[in-house]
């Protein structure tokens, strides 16, 4: 009710949208950053003739697309909102994509005032101002109240205005119930040469005395709805003719030619380097590929993409939430975003990834510098929980290459696959073990060592695969044949290979550069348990806080190097050896 006047003016005069053609490339975008204002959004759809009364009354019912908070199950909704602090950052990504397309569209975002306490909102202000996104308009519904009471600044919009101005936005402060003021403000915002924000002072529950500007009514139905309807002027049919969008502009993307990278067997290359090489190649074969960096492009090697395709490279600086939000915004317009940082720092954007799954987003993530094997930088830089956290995301794919040729092939599979996928890359150089032509698949694995007499199966991926191979050599010298499985697709996992190993060898040993919780060991355990297989499973993983040091020393200290694998195997096989 506080934002109804603001949205009424937007729909009746400024929004350009064809509800019959949500795919129209020049439609404006409207993101409800305050997703809990869904009753307003759905009422606007009704007023615009996009839905009828019957559907509106299915609000929040089981099976209705009009869920408690908007999701893209509704064709006019780009992204799920409802986790506050996300809509504006994602709108920044949409506006970035629109600018890349030289599209005339505008991106409108309705924000709450309490939501402005989220740091991600200020990452968005900073980024949009710096990038000069003149196609972005934020409307802040300053109703002075949040969920449990007053906001920090209540109706004192001057402090918020000063901050937005400092971020280089065009700023206006208005009475959000004065139609002329709203009208003028939208006109001025559209004319601005930079992103525009309108801080509109409003009253929560506007128009109904029993609740107007009263705390305690957030998200609650009115006590006497009939009286409220009377007070608002009685039942009326309110319809609005939303203006049609203009013609969409054709646009062209430059594609520098880059050959598919390939590495010779035996060559030592870090998979993070292969990621950079592969991304540059993907940019040349697919003009929809864009790359986003969190100010570590010279570590993740995303800079190799930037060197070839500067127009499609987006430096997001040290703002991982904004990086993932921009990626999610860009994919709403059909771009294929690859966002990379240290795996450890992607955790800052976890809620955006979680919500991305609700949005059914096509999001490709890469985390470098995983595990203790990064060495000297110490534990603050080590991703040790990334498999666990990203595995838990609905429908996600987790790929963990062990070799550069494999990293190239897997990244191409990530490009082709819609959905949320994550590649885990290693800082250290490791030997190339697969030829450039070898094929891999999402859900696959490679049995890199096996014989008729395999007594034990070693399962690793990334750097630990190489430790497992060394261990297998040493075990071979002791007369113990070890099968070695490269579990490069951690999710979905090759259950068949695990079950075959369980049936054909006496015991399984997993070894991973990740905390013991939620990683490869748990994946293998779940396959065994899910299939009712009881066998010996030893999980080697990181269990204690690491420090700094040479990678070999840290792998040894964590008990995940070749020596510890050999020792674990000897312990497991002891009864049968004896």
Residues forming the site for ligand TPP (CB under 6 A): 2, 34, 36, 82-85, 112-115, 141, 143, 145-147, 151, 204, 218
Nearest residue to ligand TPP, scored by beta-carbon proximity: 112
The minimum distance between CB 350 and ligand TPP, in angstroms, equals 12
Q: Which is nearer to ligand TPP, 121 or 433 (CB)?
A: 121
Distances from the Cα of 175 to the Cα of 137, 218, 219, 340, 403, angstroms: 17, 21, 23, 42, 60
Beta strands in 177-223 (DSSP E): 196-201
Distances from the Cα of 131 to the Cα of 121, 159, 194, angstroms: 15, 23, 9
Cβ atoms of 367 and 341 within 8 Å: the answer is yes
As a whole number of angstroms, the distance between CA 157 and CA 171 comes to 11
As a whole number of angstroms, the distance between CA 92 and CA 107 comes to 8
Alpha helices in 101-224 (DSSP H): 119-131, 157-166, 179-191
Determine the angle formed by the axes of helices 271-285 and 404-416, rounding to 10 degrees.
40
Q: Which is nearer to ligand TPP, 279 or 328 (CB)?
A: 328
The minimum distance between CB 141 and ligand TPP, in angstroms, equals 5
The SS3 assignment for 19 reads: coil
How would you classify the pairing of strands 429-431 and 420-424? Answer: unpaired
Q: Which residues pair with 293 in a beta bridge?
A: 315, 340
Instruction: Single out the residue of 372, 470, 468, 462 nearest to residue 423, CA to CA.
Output: 462
The minimum distance between CB 111 and ligand TPP, in angstroms, equals 7
Q: Which is nearer to ligand TPP, 2 or 332 (CB)?
A: 2
User: Which two tokens mark 69?
Assistant: 């908070």
The minimum distance between CB 500 and ligand TPP, in angstroms, equals 45
Q: Which of 101, 123, 320, 467 is catalytic?
A: 320
The minimum distance between CB 499 and ligand TPP, in angstroms, equals 41
The minimum distance between CB 232 and ligand TPP, in angstroms, equals 18
- Find where tokens 């020792």 sit: 567
Q: Which is nearer to ligand TPP, 93 or 112 (CB)?
A: 112
The minimum distance between CB 122 and ligand TPP, in angstroms, equals 14
In order, the DSSP letters of 286-347 are -TTEEEEESS-HHHH-THHHHHH-GGGEEE--S-HHHHHHHHHHHHTTT-EEEEEEEHHHHG
Q: Which is nearer to ligand TPP, 115 or 126 (CB)?
A: 115
Instruction: Single out the residue of 377, 103, 149 nearest to residue 245, CA to CA.
Output: 103
User: Which two tokens mark 415?
Assistant: 């490009």
Q: Which is nearer to ligand TPP, 146 or 343 (CB)?
A: 146
Q: Which is nearer to ligand TPP, 80 or 524 (CB)?
A: 80
The minimum distance between CB 131 and ligand TPP, in angstroms, equals 24
As a whole number of angstroms, the distance between CA 508 and CA 498 comes to 9
320 belongs to the catalytic site: yes
Q: Which residues, at least 6 apart from 325, have a Cβ–Cβ distance to it below 8 Å?
A: 86, 89, 90, 92, 93, 120, 123, 124, 349, 352
Q: Which residues are catalytic?
A: 320
């Amino acid at each position: 009710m506080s934002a109804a006047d603001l949205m009424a003016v937007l729909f009746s005069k400024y929004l350009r949208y064809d509800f019959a053609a949500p795919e129209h490339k020049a439609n404006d975008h409207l993101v409800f950053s305050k997703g809990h204002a869904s009753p307003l959004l759905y009422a606007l759809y009704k007023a615009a003739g996009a839905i009828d009364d019957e559907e509106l009354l299915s609000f929040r019912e089981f099976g209705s697309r009009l869920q408690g908070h908007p999701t893209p199950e509704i064709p006019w909704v780009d992204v799920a909102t409802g986790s506050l602090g996300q809509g504006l950052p994602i709108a920044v990504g949409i506006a970035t994509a629109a600018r890349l397309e030289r599209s005339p569209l505008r991106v409108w975002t309705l924000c709450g005032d309490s939501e402005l306490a989220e740091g991600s909102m200020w990452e968005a202000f900073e980024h949009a101002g710096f990038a000069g996104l003149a196609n972005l308009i934020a409307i802040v519904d300053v109703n002075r109240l949040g969920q449990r009471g007053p906001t920090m600044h209540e109706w004192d919009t001057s402090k918020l205005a000063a901050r937005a101005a400092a971020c280089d936005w065009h700023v206006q402060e208005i009475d959000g119930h004065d139609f002329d003021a709203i009208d003028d403000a939208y006109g001025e915002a559209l004319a601005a040469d930079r992103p525009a924000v309108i801080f509109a002072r409003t009253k929560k529950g506007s128009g109904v005395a029993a609740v107007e500007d009263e705390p305690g009514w957030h998200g609650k139905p009115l006590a006497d709805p009939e009286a409220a309807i009377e007070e608002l002027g009685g039942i009326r049919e309110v319809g609005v003719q939303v203006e049609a969008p203009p013609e969409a502009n054709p646009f062209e993307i430059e594609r520098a030619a880059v050959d598919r990278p390939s590495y010779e067997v035996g060559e030592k290359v870090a998979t993070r380097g292969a990621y950079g090489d592969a991304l540059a190649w993907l940019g040349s074969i697919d003009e929809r590929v864009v790359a986003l960096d969190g100010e570590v492009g010279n570590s993740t090697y995303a800079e190799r993409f930037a060197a070839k395709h500067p127009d499609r490279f987006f430096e997001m600086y040290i703002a991982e939430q904004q990086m993932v939000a921009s990626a999610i915004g860009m994919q709403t317009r059909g771009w294929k975003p690859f966002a990379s940082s240290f795996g450890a720092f992607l955790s800052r954007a976890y809620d955006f990834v979680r919500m991305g799954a609700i949005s059914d987003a096509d999001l490709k993530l890469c985390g470098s510098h995983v595990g203790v094997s990064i060495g000297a930088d110490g534990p603050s830089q080590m991703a040790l929980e990334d498999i666990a956290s990203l595995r838990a995301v609905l429908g996600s794919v987790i790929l963990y290459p062990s070799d550069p040729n494999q990293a190239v092939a897997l990244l191409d599979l990530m490009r082709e696959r819609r959905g949320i996928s994550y590649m885990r890359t290693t800082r250290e150089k490791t030997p190339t073990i697969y030829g450039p032509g070898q094929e891999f698949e999402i859900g696959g694995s490679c049995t890199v060592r096996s014989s008729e007499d395999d007594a034990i199966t070693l399962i690793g991926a990334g750097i630990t695969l190489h430790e497992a191979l060394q261990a297998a050599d040493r075990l071979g010298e002791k007369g113990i044949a070890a099968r070695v499985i490269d579990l490069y697709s951690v999710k979905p996992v090759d259950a068949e290979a695990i079950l075959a190993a369980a049936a054909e060898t006496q015991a399984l040993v997993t070894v991973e550069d990740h905390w013991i919780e939620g990683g490869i060991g748990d994946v293998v355990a779940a396959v065994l348990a899910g299939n009712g297989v009881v066998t010996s499973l030893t999980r080697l993983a990181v269990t204690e806080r690491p420090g700094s040091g040479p990678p070999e020393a840290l792998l040894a200290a964590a008990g995940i190097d070749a020596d510890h694998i050999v020792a674990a195997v000897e312990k497991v096989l002891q009864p049968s050896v004896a």
